[in-house]
Structure 1
Amino acid sequence: MNDENKSIHEFDLELICEYFVNLERQGPGSPEITIKALSFIDDLNDKSLIADIGCGSGGQTMVLAQHALGNVTGVDLFPIFIDLFNRNVEKLDLQNRVKGIVESMDNLPFRNEELDLMWSEGAIYNIGFERGINEWRKFLKTGGYIAVSEVSWFTEERPAEIEEFWMDAYPEIDTIPNKVAQMQKAGYIPVATFVLPENCWTENFYAPQVEADKLFLEKNKGNKAAEEFIANQRHEAHLYNKYKEYYGYVFYIGKKI
C-alpha cells in the first residue's frame, strides 16, 4: 500500500488530533442537518438527558444544545477536544446544562435506561455501527432515541478503487437498507433515514481543510508522517469528488422499543 492510500487509522492519534482540533467540524455535516435530524425526535423536555458520543470539539453539540431542551453531555476520548468543547460551552453561556467529559465510547459512564437521546455524528465508526447501536441501547429509556450519521453505500455495486479504499478504512460500510435492518434487529423502530447533501462534505468538511493543511505543514515542516497524513486527507477528498454518487454519510434515527 503506498503512502497516499493509507488508512487514517495507521497514523499517530496525537497527529490526527493536532490536525482536527483546528477545524470547526471533525466530520461531514452542517448545523442545518443537525437540526433536521433533531426534528424527528419527540418528547424532549428540560429534564431530558442527552449524550453526544464522539463529540470532538462540539460543533454539532452546540447546535443540538441550542435547539433541544434538556441537559447535554459530550463524550470524547481525547482531552484536547473536550478542553475546546468546554471552552465553546462557556462562550455560548451553556454551562448550566452542557458539559464535555473525557471517556471512551466503549466504556460510557451512564446508567442503564438513563438517557432520552443518544447522538453521534460521524463517530460511531470508531466502535462500529452494529456494535455501537447494540451496546448503547441499554443506556436509553424505553421510547428513547438514537441518532447517528454513518458512511454508507448508495449502490449495490461500485468501482474497485473506492470499494477497496473504504473496505480498508471501514470494513463495516454497508448499504442503507442493510444499516436500517441492523437498527431494527438491535431493538429500535427505524424512525427516519436521510442522506447528507454534498455540501456537508465539500463546503463544511473539505474546504476548511485547505487552510488547515497549510498551517499544519508549516508547523510540522520536515515531519514525514505529517506530510503523509495531509497527502492521505487530500486523497480522500479527491476520491469523494470522483465517486460521490456511490457513497456518503447517512443519518439513521431509531426509537428504542
Structure 2
Amino acid sequence: MSNEKQTIHEFDLNIIYEFFSNTERQGPGSAKETLKALSFIDGLTEKSKIADIGCGTGGQTMVLAQNTASEIIGVELWSDFVKQFNQNAQNQNLQDRVKGVVGNMENLPFQEEELDLIWSEGAIYNIGFERGINEWRKFLKLGGYIAVTENTWFSEERPAEIQDFWQKAYPEIDTISNKVAQMQKAGYLPVATYVLPETIWTDFYTWQTLRCDSFLKKHHGNKTIEEFVASERYEAELYYKY
C-alpha cells in the first residue's frame, strides 16, 4: 500500500459507487437539514419543477417530494443509483411526479428557464462550485432558487495537514464568505447560508467506519480496495483530529 494518502477522486468510479450503494444517502445529510434548507424557499406549487442534481438514490429527493407538490427530476450519472431512485419513488407512491434519469451535470437535460428550483446536496463539487452555479443558472426561471451544500473552511487559517488533504481533494474549497461572493458574481441574490451541525458528520463517519469494515471483508486481499478504505478512514481521522 502506498504511503501517500490518496483522495476519493483518484479511485475508479465503480469502487466509489459500490461503496455508497444500498444506503439512503451517499453523503452527509439528514431529512431535518433538507427541510431546513427547503424552508428558505418560497412559491413552490404543483406547477413548479425541481431538479435534484447528483441525486444518488434519492434520500433527500424523497424528502423534497413529501414536502412539496412539485414535479421533481433527479439527475444522476450512475444508472444503478437511478434504478434505486425510481424504486424508492414507487415505494412511496411518488412515481407520478418524481423521476430519476441518467444524466451528466455537465450537460443537463433541461431547457433554459425551465426550473423553479435546482437542488444539489453533496454533489456540486463534482463539477466545481463556481462552474456549477454559473452553468446551471440559465436553467432557472426568473425568481428561481438554487440550493446546494458545499465544502468550506470555517476559518482563514488551518493546520497544514488538513489544508493539504482538502486542497488536493477539492482545490475549490474556500471560506463561506468567498463562496457567497462567487454566487453574487454569478448573478444570484443569496437568501441564506448555514453550517451543517456536527452530528451530521459524526453520524456519517460512524456509518463510514462500519462500511469500511464490511467493504474490506468483501474484497479481502484487493490492494486497490485497501487503499480506498485507507483514504476514507484518513478523511474521518482528520475530521476528528481537527
Match of 2:237 in 1: 238
Match of 1:31 in 2: 31
Look up the equivalent residue of 1:217 and give its one-letter code: L
Shift of 1:221: 1.3
Question: In structure 2, the residue corresponding to 1:199 is in which secondary structure?
Answer: helix
1:28-78 CA-partner distances (Å, limit 9, x unpaired): 111110000000000000010000000111111111111122001110111
Unaligned runs of 5+ in 2: none
Whole-angstrom distance in 1 between the partners of 2:78 and 2:223 = 23
Look up the equivalent residue of 2:23 and give its one-letter code: L
Question: In structure 2, the residue corresponding to 1:113 is in which secondary structure?
Answer: coil
Whole-angstrom distance in 2 between the partners of 1:59 and 1:231 = 26
Match of 2:129 in 1: 129
Match of 2:199 in 1: 199
Question: In structure 2, the residue corresponding to 1:191 is in which secondary structure?
Answer: coil
How does 1:48-197 map onto structure 2 within 5 Å? 48-197=48-197
Look up the equivalent residue of 1:18 and give its one-letter code: E
Quick check: 1:153–1:174 contact (8 Å CA) kept in 2? yes
Structure that is richer in strand per residue: 1
1:172-223 CA-partner distances (Å, limit 9, x unpaired): 00000100000011011000000000111111x1112233222212221111
Quick check: 2:120–2:148 contact (8 Å CA) kept in 1? yes
Match of 2:7 in 1: 7
Quick check: 2:54–2:123 contact (8 Å CA) kept in 1? yes
Aligned in 2, Cα 1:31/1:3: closer, same or farther, shift over 3 Å?
farther
Shift of 1:2: 4.3
Match of 1:215 in 2: 214
TM-score by length of 1: 0.92
Quick check: 1:23–1:212 contact (8 Å CA) kept in 2? no
CA RMSD of superposed structures (Å): 1.2
Whole-angstrom distance in 2 between the partners of 1:174 and 1:210 = 27
Look up the equivalent residue of 2:140 and give its one-letter code: L
Whole-angstrom distance in 2 between the partners of 1:80 and 1:44 = 30
Look up the equivalent residue of 1:231 and give its one-letter code: A
Unaligned runs of 5+ in 1: 244-257
Aligned in 2, Cα 1:242/1:36: closer, same or farther, shift over 3 Å?
same
Look up the equivalent residue of 2:218 and give its one-letter code: K
Shift of 1:4: 5.9
Higher-RCO chain (CA-CA 8 Å, sequence separation at least 6): 1
Q: Count matched residues.
A: 242
Quick check: 2:53–2:105 contact (8 Å CA) kept in 1? yes
Question: In structure 2, the residue corresponding to 1:150 is in which secondary structure?
Answer: coil
Quick check: 1:4–1:228 contact (8 Å CA) kept in 2? no
Shift of 1:23: 2.5
Aligned in 2, Cα 1:3/1:122: closer, same or farther, shift over 3 Å?
farther
Look up the equivalent residue of 1:218 and give its one-letter code: K
Shift of 1:24: 2.0
Question: In structure 2, the residue corresponding to 1:138 is in which secondary structure?
Answer: helix
